[in-house]
Amino acid sequence: MLCTVIENMGSFCSKQRHNPADSEENAQTAEIERRIELETKAEKHIQKLLLLGAGESGKSTIFKQIKLLFQTGFNDAELKSYITVIHANVYQIIKILYDGAKELAQNEEESSKYALSDEIKEIGEKLSEIGGRLDYPRLSKELAQEIETLWKDEAIQETYSRGNELQVPDCTLYFMENLQRLAVADYIPTKEDVLYARIRTTGVVEIQFSPVGENKKSGEVYRLFDVGGQRNERRKWIHLFEGVTAVIFCAAVSEYDQTLFEDENRNRMMETRELFEWVLKQPCFEKTSFMLFLNKFDIFEKKVLDVPLNVCDWFKDYQPVYSGKQEVEHAYEFVKKKFEELYFQSTAPHCVDRVFKIYRTTALDQKLVKKTFKLVDETLRRRNLFEAGLL
């Protein structure tokens, strides 16, 4: 009798251990653990890239180019979301120019160059008021015509020539030349419009993309992080510094004669120099590769023939020796050498073996950006092979 009870209890326990519900739960748990393991392994193969630089250095344009080049680009909804940004840019630009002309007319010795007619003043006051709002109206044909009238005024053109002193954005000429197209009722931004659109990065944005170049089997996956470059945004950088494969530092070479948006007494190039030096000295980057993008070369090559490099304190020892394209190259090589010297001066002896490359870039040039990232990809893959003892 006792044996029968014990046998039955054993039989009951055995049935409990093979409960179908428990088996299903165990299978689900095993599947979750398998997926976590696979995701962990996949994460190890993702190369973390950090995009740093001062405000207005072109980081966000580089970021948008990556989305266009190596992802699916911008869908219709994303393109339409830029309408308000682009129209805001137009209003902000014309306000800066009109307010700048009034200021120059009051304070400059040759004030007559900036004198505005009563008709232009009336248009300017209206547009300046719109540009000062927090919410902007959609750009209509009528408003676009008034903006175009103001833009073509001689005093406004004189003001535009002083744009480096007034925080006039680089996208000004592009948007002013396309006003009528931007104002059509069914306007949808083009990819080029989106690249020119200016919106300050706040917080952190990231994008994951597959191997650069035609070799889609390279096995590398990159996760690129873009953070705001203005001073008040930089405190958000620190928590991203760990586990970085490479820092891509953007320096706008054309901004040697401009001041910061957030501090008009501070030269942008001097700020970039100080920021680059600070980043180089971060302990967590001792083994991190550095890719320096000397950006906005398209603007630099036009500007440097009219505005000498030595207006910037860092470049005081620069002496022009050529003219035309030769002088552009001479000036660029001088700037490049300054950054190279700064890199080695700011790099501790035990860090000299980390990868450091300099690339001449124009963020708006898609072919050049694609070529540059292909070179970056090749450099990082070679470094990985070297560290694995395969080179």
Amino acid identity, position 130: I
Q: Which residues pair with 227 in a beta bridge?
A: 204
Handedness of CA 364, 60, 272, 270 (dihedral sign): positive
Do residues 55 and 228 lie in contact, with contact meaning Cβ atoms separated by under 8 Å? yes
What are the E-state strand segments in 30-105?
46-53
201 is in an annotated binding site: yes
CB 315 within 8 A of CB 292: no
Residue 114 assigned to a binding site: no
365 is in an annotated binding site: no
- The response to whether 59 counts as a known ligand-binding position is yes
**Could you please report the per-residue DSSP string of 152-206?**
HSHHHHHHHTTHHHHT--TTHHHHHHTHHHHTSTT----HHHHHH------SEEE
Do the annotations mark residue 197 as ligand-binding?
A: yes
> Is 305 annotated as belonging to a binding site?
no
Report the 10 Å Cβ neighbour count for 97.
28
Q: State yes or no: 86 annotated in a binding site.
A: no
Is 198 one of the catalytic residues? Answer: yes
What is the helix (H) or strand (E) element at residue 130, kind and residue range? helix 118-131
Catalytic residue among 153, 158, 220, 226: 226
| Active-site choice (158, 172, 198, 347) | 198
Is 199 part of any known ligand binding site?
A: yes
Whether residue 226 lies in the annotated active site: yes
From the candidates 84, 149, 190, 230, which is the catalytic residue?
A: 230
User: Is 229 one of the annotated binding-site residues?
Assistant: yes
Residue 263 known to bind ligand: no
Ligand-binding annotation for 113, yes or no, is: no
| 118 annotated ligand-binding residue | no
**Which of 56, 153, 257, 301 is flagged as catalytic?**
56
Output DSSP code: residue 353.
T
Active site residues: 56, 61, 198, 226, 230
Please give the annotated binding residues for Mg(2+), written as ranges.
Answer: 60, 201
Specify binding-site residues: 56-61, 170, 195-201, 226-230, 295-298, 363
Give the residue ranges of the annotated binding site for GTP. Answer: 56-61, 170, 195-201, 226-230, 295-298, 363
